[in-house]
Structure 1
Amino acid sequence: MRKTLLTLVALFTLLVPLLAACGGQPAAVQPTATTAPTAAPTAVPTTGTTDSSKPRIALVTDLGKVNDGTFNEFAHLGALRAAQEFGLEYKYIETQAQADYEKNIQTFVDEGFDVIVTVGFLIADATKKFAAEHPDIIFIGVDQFYEPGTVTDNLVGLQFREDQAGFLAGALAGMMTQTGTVGVVAGVEIPPVKRFKNAFDNGARYVKPDINLLGVYLPTFIDPALGASTAQQMIGEGADVIFGAGGPTGSGAIKEAAARGVYVIGVDQDEYVTTFANGTAPGADRILSSAIKRVDVAVYDQIKAVVNGTFKGNGIALYEAANGGIGYADYHDTADDVPDAVKRRMEEILAALTTGELTTGVDPVSGDVDPNTIPEPQPFRPADVKLPKIALVTDLGKVNDGTFNEFAHLGALRAAQEFGLEYKYIETQAQADYEKNIQTFVDEGFDVIVTVGFLIADATKKFAAEHPDIIFIGVDQFYEPGTVTDNLVGLQFREDQAGFLAGALAGMMTQTGTVGVVAGVEIPPVKRFKNAFDNGARYVKPDINLLGVYLPTFIDPALGASTAQQMIGEGADVIFGAGGPTGSGAIKEAAARGVYVIGVDQDEYVTTFANGTAPGADRILSSAIKRVDVAVYDQIKAVVNGTFKGNGIALYEAANGGIGYADYHDTADDVPDAVKRRMEEILAALTTGELTTGVDPVSGDVDPNTIPEPQPFQP
């Protein structure tokens, strides 16, 4: 993190004048005349007896006092805590005018203090100057940025993760809005302000994906009237929570909004104390909280490091949730307005940011939105919201038969257990029972019905149209987007990626240099399997001899078997079956003849080879599988979270865990470790998108433009 901050050094240099009006500058304190007298140092009593061998601590405030609720007070509290805990001498000076910065620092230099804390970026130049002149004194600059490696080892600037604080503010706004519209009145569009605003947006969407977000950057930090008029406009557009992130401009916005009865959220410090005068100013009963930088924690931490001999200067120290550097302020007068469920969720979100389990979706340096780290929404559900009841209708078979039935059941069961849902299933005995079984769950009032297999697709589509209040999830069912109701989704899978993996495995395991595919009817999903198998085999073995054929039926095992026999006669020593029972007939025959085989869709070691008890089970290398369990769980989770999208298909691929390959089972010792490692690498490359299959994921045709350059396997 600290390394990435280097990329903004030049930008920060240019932005220092702009920053002077944002964040750490106290909104309510105006500079006094330069002729104002300098305050005398104030000694602070500490517990116990100070030790002359220990460092003496001093603090120079920004304009203002150590009880003004700004960074001054937080820095003072951090220094005071350290002084009391470690028995240190501690004094401070409350700066009266900007012209006094150097004079105040000089006072403590002359008095022989070992550590001098200075508050705010306006005092940064003076701090840097004195640090260079006095290498024996440690300087700690609050909210000050210094390029690492360009300052002396006795100087550190304290920086904070505004994106995490902004995310917390957004989450609170998203849970407290009643209109579904919230707004941000932000200052100049510079990195720290972008971090606040963009993360606020992401935090609001995290708890309320359909939220309406209003937000604007304003060209100044010091125009409260402009902030107020902007807030008025947002309120006119329906905003009932407004976040101010722009110095006095933002404070003007939240004062105006609060006066109009709208909830507001402050920034940097606890604005209940500052902007709302510790609860005495109008509107104090409408400030929910503030997105705060824990300056007290950072100052204490740095003084502790000095005491412990672990202080590191020469740049910046970054404070974030993980080290207690950011957080949110007390709810104060709105404590009774904020439901307990919201308070608990805020604690959970802060905890997840602290552990790193949750990211903000914002680049912590530039402040730009980072699409790769935007967290998946976890909508806030008040305690009185009813959770959905889940039902599953299998295809012919049972929930432990190793087919899509079992995988769908496992996905539904996982979701039910994780989210505390009621869950039932019916095991279909005959195709004629499809509609009757679905009707059973409709009559019992289930909210989500999962149906398995393409044979049940017509019945699923019919019931979805008749019952728009029930969500239907069809496993391995295709519905043209826009032609079905919004409560219906068909789960589709990237057969080309699964086929590519199968081809790569075959290409690495063949000894004769010849492999084959026994495929079913030449339709897109089968073409995706077969063409990608060929490309995967060539990817690892460019000179491979490929045999393959489409057969006119999916339900003729004998035809599959005779086709496999022919391929074996032509030298194939690995055969992939991709054609339902026809393909299964092919791999059973090939395995019985001692040839390696690869299954399809589900783990055929479990199904076709009866969990290892059928002849030939010791010859099945793996299966190219569709992770139906992942897809079903994912869709039910979307229902629970309020992010379900119907009216077509949901595509599952390597990137979302939707495809893969099965365990090696009885052939685990036959497959060299080098092959296993290469398979893991190929799956990882498909997952990241670094590797393409060379097959159109819709039509199944070979796409010459995306065929990957061969990377031959070297045992």
Structure 2
Amino acid sequence: MKTWKRTTAAAAVALMASAALAACGDAPDEDKKGSAKSDFLPCIVSDAGGFDDKSFNQLSYEGLKEAAKELGTDYKDVQSKTDQDYAPNLENLVGQGCDLIVTVGFALSAATVESAKANPDIEYVLIDDAADNDFDGNKDADNIKPILYDTAQAAFLAGYAAADYTKTGTVGTYGGQPFPTVTIFMDGFKQGVDYYNKEKGKDVKLIGWEGNDKGVFTGGFDANEKATNTAKSILDKNADVILPVGGPIYQGALTAIKDSGKDVALIGVDADFYETDPNTQSLVLTSILKNMKTSTIETVVAAGKGDFDPEAYVGTLENDGVGLAPFHNFESKVNPSLQGELDKVKQGIIDGSIPVTSYLDK
């Protein structure tokens, strides 16, 4: 497994999560009833975004439900409202007799490690984090399976597409907070724009991300006025393609686009926004996909059949763990040659002839 370092900010979030000993979130729902054929009980806890975030919490939750259905068993779920809920929510699920617990998001890392160490007979799946909170390059508990995504590869394709589509010659991005799982999108997006400029002899400008943690952030992951104003500041600099990274903060971009009266295209993250949020259908150029639903299904089903594998999974373009959504309503608006060019770039990334770097390489 490759090793890397996290930012100080991410470490701070992890420490906060491990300290969370008070306040519980929503209590786990009663068992979801079905024709249970197994006594294996999979469970899941969200981060503060909740299971209706139309992003990674929702995808992971859908994956767990489908896995439980395939196994013929029940499941339990619990939503967190704040980071103070993580540790007590995990304790609650342990008390409910869960055999496997899926924790969604890097913010849950420290609480997951603490719970896993205290309960070595329970299997844990940590989505979007390596469970390496002491930064020594090794997983902190043997009974955790990290599920990670090299999203920079798919974001590279989105950056190339955005650079080809823009009419103003300027594209933009902004994030919630500068955590590695956020900036990996922005890194890949920038590399894709840069590659397009190099190959085409163009000078498409990127607003909102310079690399090395220098970029535009809202300071959180809420769809609030700050998210709207942040998107507006990017549109005011003539960007006509915008990539918001951080769960619900994209809703701020929807408001800013509407208020601007300009012809602006949105790029989604994690899920295909066209499918998960119909409000985006007239605006979304494409989405950068993490196939979290599929990887969650496969991991939980394997565990339910007694084949839990604690080794880390890293989603890439090659294994279809990450990808780029269709252009949907923009199919007739993009250049006819764009999809063919993207197919060639994708193959170059897979075979290594087009390098894409991310924090997962470190």
- TM-score, with length taken from structure 1: 0.42
Q: Secondary structure at the match of 2:73?
A: coil
Is 1:321 the counterpart of 2:342 in the alignment? no
The residue aligned with 1:267 is: 269
Q: Secondary structure at the match of 1:285?
A: coil
The residue aligned with 2:207 is: 215
CA contact (8 A) 2:41 2:74 kept: yes
The residue aligned with 2:138 is: 149
Match of 1:51 among 38, 41, 56: 38
The residue aligned with 2:257 is: 257
Distance 1:173 1:197 in 2: 13
Cα gap change, 1:13 to 1:235, in 2 (>3 Å): closer
For 2:128, give the aligned amino acid. Answer: D
CA contact (8 A) 1:221 1:249 kept: no
Count residues with an aligned counterpart: 339
Identity of aligned residues (%): 27
The residue aligned with 1:16 is: 11
For 1:103, give the aligned amino acid. Answer: P
For 1:327, give the aligned amino acid. Answer: G
Question: Displacement, 1:170?
Answer: 0.8
Mapping 1:73-222, distance limit 5 Å: 73-147=58-132, 149-186=138-175, 191-207=180-196, 209=200, 210-216=202-208, 217-218=215-216, 220-222=218-220
Distance 1:58 1:203 in 2: 38
CA contact (8 A) 1:244 1:254 kept: no
Cα RMSD (Å) of the superposition? 3.6
Is 1:39 the counterpart of 2:27 in the alignment? yes
Distance 1:153 1:365 in 2: 20
Distance 1:99 1:238 in 2: 40
The residue aligned with 2:18 is: none
Mapping 1:607-618, distance limit 5 Å: none
Distance 2:25 2:338 in 1: 46
Is 1:352 the counterpart of 2:347 in the alignment? yes
Question: Displacement, 1:220?
Answer: 4.5
CA contact (8 A) 2:124 2:145 kept: yes
Cα gap change, 1:81 to 1:366, in 2 (>3 Å): same
Per-residue displacement from partner, 1:79-134 (whole Å, max 9, x unpaired)? 12222333333222233454433333233322322111112223222211111111
Unaligned runs of 5+ in 2: 16-21, 209-214
Q: Secondary structure at the match of 1:95?
A: coil
Cα gap change, 1:86 to 1:360, in 2 (>3 Å): farther
Question: Displacement, 1:61?
Answer: 2.1
Q: Secondary structure at the match of 1:257?
A: helix
Distance 2:49 2:185 in 1: 25
Distance 1:40 1:249 in 2: 27
For 1:51, give the aligned amino acid. Answer: S
Q: Secondary structure at the match of 2:318?
A: helix
The residue aligned with 1:542 is: none
Distance 1:205 1:247 in 2: 25
CA contact (8 A) 2:104 2:128 kept: yes
Cα gap change, 1:149 to 1:198, in 2 (>3 Å): closer
Per-residue displacement from partner, 1:543-600 (whole Å, max 9, x unpaired)? xxxxxxxxxxxxxxxxxxxxxxxxxxxxxxxxxxxxxxxxxxxxxxxxxxxxxxxxxx
Mapping 1:301-340, distance limit 5 Å: 301-307=298-304, 309-313=306-310, 316-329=312-325, 331=327, 334-335=329-330, 337-339=332-334
Distance 2:66 2:341 in 1: 27
Question: Displacement, 1:296?
Answer: 1.1
Cα gap change, 1:290 to 1:309, in 2 (>3 Å): same
Per-residue displacement from partner, 1:329-355 (whole Å, max 9, x unpaired)? 4556x3455448367448725852784
Match of 1:286 among 267, 277, 283: 283
Distance 2:350 2:319 in 1: 10
For 1:81, give the aligned amino acid. Answer: E
Q: Which has the higher contact order (CA 8 A, sep 6+)?
A: 2
Distance 1:125 1:346 in 2: 42
- TM-score, with length taken from structure 2: 0.77
Match of 1:362 among 353, 357, 362: 357
CA contact (8 A) 1:167 1:201 kept: yes
Mapping 1:224-235, distance limit 5 Å: 225=225, 228-229=228-229, 231-235=231-235
Distance 1:244 1:299 in 2: 24
Distance 2:151 2:25 in 1: 35
For 2:43, give the aligned amino acid. Answer: A
CA contact (8 A) 1:349 1:358 kept: no
Q: Secondary structure at the match of 1:157?
A: strand
The residue aligned with 2:212 is: none
Question: Displacement, 1:363?
Answer: 3.9
Question: Displacement, 1:289?
Answer: 2.5
The residue aligned with 1:549 is: none
CA contact (8 A) 1:242 1:254 kept: no
Distance 1:13 1:117 in 2: 25
For 2:207, give the aligned amino acid. Answer: G
For 1:145, give the aligned amino acid. Answer: A
CA contact (8 A) 2:131 2:141 kept: no
Distance 2:61 2:36 in 1: 20
Q: Which has the larger radius of gyration?
A: 1
Distance 2:184 2:150 in 1: 8
Distance 1:163 1:128 in 2: 26
Mapping 1:507-656, distance limit 5 Å: none
Distance 2:237 2:51 in 1: 40
Per-residue displacement from partner, 1:463-519 (whole Å, max 9, x unpaired)? xxxxxxxxxxxxxxxxxxxxxxxxxxxxxxxxxxxxxxxxxxxxxxxxxxxxxxxxx
Per-residue displacement from partner, 1:208-245 (whole Å, max 9, x unpaired)? 53141222202543386555455445444442212223
CA contact (8 A) 1:64 1:72 kept: yes
Distance 1:352 1:42 in 2: 46
Unaligned runs of 5+ in 1: 21-33, 368-715
Q: Secondary structure at the match of 1:63?
A: coil
CA contact (8 A) 1:159 1:318 kept: yes
Question: Displacement, 1:298?
Answer: 2.3
Question: Displacement, 1:135?
Answer: 0.7
CA contact (8 A) 2:24 2:84 kept: no
Cα gap change, 1:345 to 1:243, in 2 (>3 Å): farther
For 1:38, give the aligned amino acid. Answer: D
